[in-house]
Amino acid sequence: MESINKCTEWTKNDPMLIEYHDKRWCKPCHNDKELFAMLCLEGQQAGLSWTTIIHKEEAIRKAFDDFDFNVIASYSDKKVDELMMNEGIIRNRMKIRSVIQNAKALIGLISDSDYKSFDEYIWHFTEGKQVVHHFSDLSEMPAKDELSEKISKDLKRRGFSFVGPVIIYSYLQGIGVYDDHLDGCPSKLADY
């Protein structure tokens, strides 16, 4: 029981965070819309707790047209003002504009590069393989690493924003490029 408590320590016994930890965190994702959604959600978290994002996630997804990047890329200033009035989301104009900017950057990445999808782009950094870390304690987990710095730099070069190396490390966990479940965690042992 001690290892289970240790590996879910960051969930603070919050049922929504526990569900996220058990069912989504560090599970490989290959769906472009969900990869974009997670990038945006991680950007929304900047300066806030993941608890805040998880508790607002449903409203954020609804407000941003379920993160359909083709729709978001066409948002107007009027839409930004409308989103600023939505109490269910993170009402930060820079973060809202970042979602729009990232939608446009993603469309550009897919249409103007050798990558046919966001999935192909993000997973090429690890040659399509999940990186499994073997941490025994949360204190061993870095805030960023060489790969998150490399991806952050490349995304910024391509016009993305709110994609610093700390955000990208968390993003890589969220989309399953990294498996950072602690050794002994039942979620690490699951067959996925």
The answer to whether the beta carbons of residues 139 and 166 sit under 8 Å apart is: no
Residue of 2, 9, 10, 20 marked catalytic = 20
- Residue 25 is among the residues annotated as catalytic for this protein: no
DSSP state of 140: G
Amino acid at 144: K
* Residue 14, both tokens: 């919050």
Residue of 25, 42, 123, 178 marked catalytic = 42
Residue of 10, 25, 50, 127 marked catalytic = 50
How far is it, in rounded angstroms, from Cα 50 to Cα 85? 22
- Residue 42 is among the residues annotated as catalytic for this protein: yes
* Residue carrying structure tokens 């600023």: 84
DSSP state of 143: S
The answer to whether the beta carbons of residues 95 and 33 sit under 8 Å apart is: no
- Residue 50 is among the residues annotated as catalytic for this protein: yes
Residues designated catalytic: 20, 42, 50
